[in-house]
Amino acid sequence: MIQKKICLLGAFSVGKTSLIRRYVDSLFTDKYLTTVGVKIDKKTLQVDGQDITLMIWDIAGEDDLTNIRTAYLRGMSGYILVVDGTRPHTCDTALSIHRMVRETVGDLPALFALNKADLKTQWQLDANQLKQLQQSGCPLLETSAKQDAGVEDMFHQLVRHMGV
Amino acid sequence: MTTGTPDLDQLRRLLFGKEYDELLALKAQFASSEKYTASVARIIAEAINLRAGQDSALSVALAPMVEQSVTQSIQRQPQRFAEVLYPVMGPAIRKSIQQALNEALANLNYLLESSFSPQAWRWRFDAWRSGQSYAQVALLRTLVYQVEQAFLIHRETGLLLRHVLAENAISKAPDIVSGMLTAIQDFIKDSFAINGEDTLDTLRLGELTVLVEYGPHAISALVVRGTVPGELSGLLSSTSETIHRQYAHQFQAFNGDAAIFAGAETLLSDCLKAQRQHRQPRSPWLAYALLTTIVAAFGWWAYQHYQQQAGQLAQEAASKQQQHATLHDLQAQLRQQQTDSTAIQTSLQNLLEQQRQQAASTAEAAASNSRTIQQLTRQIETATYPFELAKAEIDLNHPVLQQISQDINALQQAARRNQQSLQVMLTGNTDDSGTETLNARLAKDRASNMRDALVRSGVPAALLVAYDANQPGLPATAHKSERGVSYRVTLY
Ligand SMILES: Nc1nc2c(ncn2[C@@H]2O[C@H](COP(=O)(O)OP(=O)(O)O)[C@@H](O)[C@H]2O)c(=O)[nH]1
Ligand SMILES: [Mg+2]
């Protein structure tokens, strides 16, 4: 069985933890997040006929991205950058995290999740931001942790992108 | 160029001289596999020795081959290996059985000791409170230490490569724990800005300690409950080193498939050590006491059972004996009866025989008596006393008279034997000469004279009746024209 480490990154309160909670049956409480800044969950899935176990690292993000412990990113096979569509600055944060990862860790499979799609009417992303997202060369997905929309698809797409 | 070659050769010889020949010889040695083999053979043992002293690469390289050839060898001739191993295996098996027994006894003793102490009740309470089993709590509380889990973690990704668990320990999602261990490591490092090479080698929480050893590719970790002994971190380091040496290639090739580290599990398992309190080799008296009690109880029960059975048996025997005796008596009686009945039968037989004999003899007697009676009757009735002509005198000494007298007496006895009475009728006869009157007197006289004569010769008078021939009622035969007396015998 192949195991892979992936990370969910993004600004504070964009819905990373909510997305993971939707996807896995969590064994541990989320309190580790506040103490150590990371929480790990596990999910086994089948992509294109192959079993794979994802070790999903939920990394506590703050708006000040220097607080992301880059050490936590070591060894990951891919990552998901989560954006809260209702808060435009979270898109900027995601983009700068993406840049930072490429510089420190390297060029890895990644995708952008535009979360809180259930609140799409309240989205405030501007044209420039959308253009930057498209230029990143990463897949772009709309998700809603609240309505469980596009969540599984998001993980599957990342795994495919990782070429496992 | 073809013309230049000999020149070139010459030039070489001029330049290198004798060394050129040596060079050629050396070349030839490498070219010929035979020669090359010979030269390698000269140094191979020394070379192996030298390399073995430098590092373990040689044993690593040889290990699979040795393993394979030993396996093949065993498969080909297992008998031979059995023979070779035989002297080793016997003692080894005995030793391990002995040890297993000792441990079992010690464990039992330990369990007993801990069951009776007040501490045990506290543990029971703890077990009830925590939802664990009493055995678990007791085991945990009496440990000096126990290595509950051993992790082998891929250092870069935090992915779990191998995990082993002690028998009584529980573990929750070791793959997540392994990730968290690396994260915590990073967290501490980041938070306290520790030097790059320094690593967190111990985590402690309550009675749990996590020993962590950082290798170039993997993190080895032991989760220890209790007081960690000093030698444990040494063991962890050497285990980590061994794993790094043995799995160097696998670490290079790792792509998320931990199966390639399966073999490292035995190395990790060797780290699952434990030490218990009160485990000094003292006499397990409680276990002995319990065993003794059990044996004694069993003995008592067996004794009781035996007694009961013995009692029953005795009773049975007694009643059997009684039955026997009764039977014996009965048999004796039966025999007696049989004897008696035989005796009776015999006596009966005898009696019958006697009776039969008696009857026979009686019959015989009766028959002979009858014959005697017949004979005597005939003798008497045919007797003729020779009277002189016209005379009635009887000579008392005449043999005929004697004979008649004897016969009548004999007949009287025989008749008496036949319960009969006898009467003899005497009829006087005359011949036809003489006168009627004379003759009648003569006949009468002759009869009465005969009667008198017989009475005088001893015949009881009652038996004799004398008749006159002319007496009416006499049978005609009585009227014989004879000179004498006729006798008519009557038995009644
Ligand atoms: N409406 C809506 N709310 C969401 C969604 N995902 C997360 N939230 C809310 O956003 C807040 C922050 O979510 P959380 O998962 O803690 O964000 P994190 O800080 O990125 O882990 C919570 O109140 C969630 O209920 C979503 O898809 N739709
Ligand atoms: Mg969160």
Q: For A69, which of B158, B180, B187 is closest by C-beta distance?
A: B187
pLDDT at B270 over 90: yes
Distance separating alpha carbons of residues B346 and A155, to the nearest angstrom: 124
Reported as a single tens digit per residue, the pLDDT across B58-68 is: 888 888 899 89
Token representation of residue A63: 């708006």
Nearest to B174 by CA among B158, B163, B185: B163
Reported as a single tens digit per residue, the pLDDT across B111-145 is: 777 677 777 788 888 888 888 777 777 766 777 88
pLDDT of residue B467: 73
**Residue with more model confidence, B154 or B443:** B154
Q: Give Cα B397 distance to the centre of its chain.
A: 111
Average pLDDT, chain B: 81
Reported as a single tens digit per residue, the pLDDT across B382-413 is: 888 888 777 888 888 888 888 888 888 888 88
Distance separating alpha carbons of residues B251 and B243, to the nearest angstrom: 10
Distance separating alpha carbons of residues A142 and A149, to the nearest angstrom: 8
B176 in A contact zone (CB under 8 Å): yes
Distance separating alpha carbons of residues B458 and B406, to the nearest angstrom: 8
Q: Mark yes or no for CB contact B179/A36 under 8 Å.
A: no
Of the segments B30-34, B207-211, B338-342, which one has the largest average pLDDT value?
B207-211
**Residue with more model confidence, B152 or B88:** B152
User: Closest residue of B to A66, CA-based?
Assistant: B190
Q: Tell me the average pLDDT across B296-314.
A: 86
Reported as a single tens digit per residue, the pLDDT across A31-76 is: 666 667 788 999 999 988 889 999 999 988 655 555 677 888 999 9
Instruction: State pTM to two decimals.
Output: 0.52
Amino acid at B35: K
Residue A24 · residue A41 · CB < 8 Å: yes
Ligand 1 interacting residues, C-beta cut-off 6 A:
A 10, 12-18, 115-116, 118-119, 144-146
Distance separating alpha carbons of residues A20 and A16, to the nearest angstrom: 6
pLDDT at B3 over 50: no
Token representation of residue A45: 């899935």
Report the residue of B154, B159, B160 to disrupt the A interface, i.e. the one with the largest count of A CBs within 10 Å. Answer: B159
Reported as a single tens digit per residue, the pLDDT across A110-161 is: 999 999 999 999 999 999 999 999 999 899 999 999 999 999 999 999 999 9
Q: Domains in chain A, start-ordered, CATH in brackets?
A: 2-161 (3.40.50.300)
Kindly list the distances between the CA atom of residue B1 and the CA atoms of A40, B6, B7, B9, B483, in Å, as whole numbers in the listed order: 76, 10, 10, 12, 211
From A13, A23, A87, A148, the mutation candidate for ligand 1 (largest count of ligand atoms within 8 A of CB) is A13
Atom 2, ligand 1: which residue's CA is nearest?
A116
pLDDT of residue A92: 92
Q: Mark yes or no for CB contact A74/B180 under 8 Å.
A: no
Q: How far away, in angstroms, is A40 Cα from ligand 2 center? A: 12
How far away is chain A from the Cα of B203, in angstroms, using its nearest Cα? 14
Q: Write the DSSP string, chain A.
A: -EEEEEEEEESTTSSHHHHHHHHS--SS-THHHHHHSEEEEEEEEEETTEEEEEEEEEE---SSGGGS-GGGGTT-SEEEEEEETT-THHHHHHHHHHHHHHHHT-S--EEEEEE-GGGGGG----HHHHHHHHHTTS-EEE-BTTTTBSHHHHHHHHHHHHT-
Q: Mark yes or no for CB contact B176/A75 under 8 Å.
A: no
pLDDT of residue B433: 67
- Name the interface residues of A facing B (CB cutoff 8 Å): 1-5, 27-28, 32, 36-38, 40-42, 52-53, 55, 57, 69, 71-72, 74-77, 164
Distance separating alpha carbons of residues B164 and B273, to the nearest angstrom: 12
How do strand B160-165 and strand B143-154 relate by DSSP bridges?
A: antiparallel
**Residue with more model confidence, A42 or B334:** A42
The number of beta carbons lying within 10 Å of the beta carbon of residue B389 is 9
Atom of ligand 1 nearest to the CA of A18: 15
Beta bridge partner(s), residue A56? A6, A41
| A69 contact residues in B (CB cutoff 8 A) | 186-187, 190
Reported as a single tens digit per residue, the pLDDT across B185-206 is: 888 877 776 666 677 788 888 8
| B183 contact residues in A (CB cutoff 8 A) | 36, 38, 40, 57, 72
| ipTM (interface pTM) | 0.88
Residue A3 · residue B175 · CB < 8 Å: yes
pLDDT of residue A66: 52
Q: How far away, in angstroms, is A28 Cα from ligand 2 center? A: 14
Residue B478 · residue B443 · CB < 8 Å: no
Residue B446 · residue B429 · CB < 8 Å: yes
The number of beta carbons lying within 10 Å of the beta carbon of residue B61 is 10
pLDDT at B285 over 80: no
Nearest to B380 by CA among B441, B462, B454: B454
Atom 12, ligand 1: which residue's CA is nearest?
A13
In chain A, the percentage of residues whose pLDDT exceeds 70 is 89
Which helix (DSSP H) or strand (DSSP E) does residue B189 occupy? helix B174-192
* Helix/strand/coil for B127: helix
How far away is chain B from the Cα of A77, in angstroms, using its nearest Cα? 9
Residue A80 · residue A7 · CB < 8 Å: yes
Q: Write the DSSP string, B300-321.
A: HHHHHHHHHHHHHHHHHHHHHH
pLDDT of residue B486: 79
Q: Mark yes or no for CB contact B179/A72 under 8 Å.
A: no
Q: Domains in chain B, start-ordered, CATH in brackets?
A: 6-93 (no CATH), 142-276 (3.30.450.70), 285-367 (no CATH), 383-491 (3.30.1330.60)
Scanning B77-161, the segments in alpha helix (DSSP H) are 78-116, 118-130, 134-141
pLDDT of residue B114: 66
pLDDT of residue B477: 45
How far away is chain A from the Cα of B288, in angstroms, using its nearest Cα? 47
Residue B114 main-chain phi, psi, to 5 deg: -75, -15
In chain B, the percentage of residues whose pLDDT exceeds 90 is 16
pLDDT at B303 over 60: yes
Residue B274 · residue B145 · CB < 8 Å: yes
Q: Mark yes or no for CB contact A27/B258 under 8 Å.
A: no
Q: For B180, which of A40, A53, A75 is closest by C-beta distance?
A: A40
Q: Tell me the average pLDDT across B246-260.
A: 93
Nearest to B159 by CA among B171, B174, B169, B172: B174
End-to-end CA distance of chain B: 193
Beta bridge partner(s), residue B465? B425
Distance separating alpha carbons of residues B463 and B481, to the nearest angstrom: 25
Distance separating alpha carbons of residues B294 and A31, to the nearest angstrom: 54
Query: What is the SS3 assignment for B432-482?
Result: CCCCHHHHHHHHHHHHHHHHHHHHHCCCCHHHEEEECCCCCCCCHHHCCCC
pLDDT of residue A27: 63
Q: Mark yes or no for CB contact A71/B160 under 8 Å.
A: no
Q: Mark yes or no for CB contact A1/B186 under 8 Å.
A: no
pLDDT of residue B473: 46
Token representation of residue B424: 């003899």
How far away is chain A from the Cα of B184, in angstroms, using its nearest Cα? 7
Distance separating alpha carbons of residues B221 and B213, to the nearest angstrom: 6
Q: At what angle do helices B285-382 and B399-417 cross, to 10 degrees?
A: 150
Q: Mark yes or no for CB contact A3/B160 under 8 Å.
A: yes
Nearest to A35 by CA among B187, B207, B189, B175: B187
Atom of ligand 1 nearest to the CA of A61: 19
The number of beta carbons lying within 10 Å of the beta carbon of residue B129 is 9
Q: How far away, in angstroms, is A33 Cα from ligand 2 center? A: 7
pLDDT at A77 over 80: yes
pLDDT of residue B475: 46
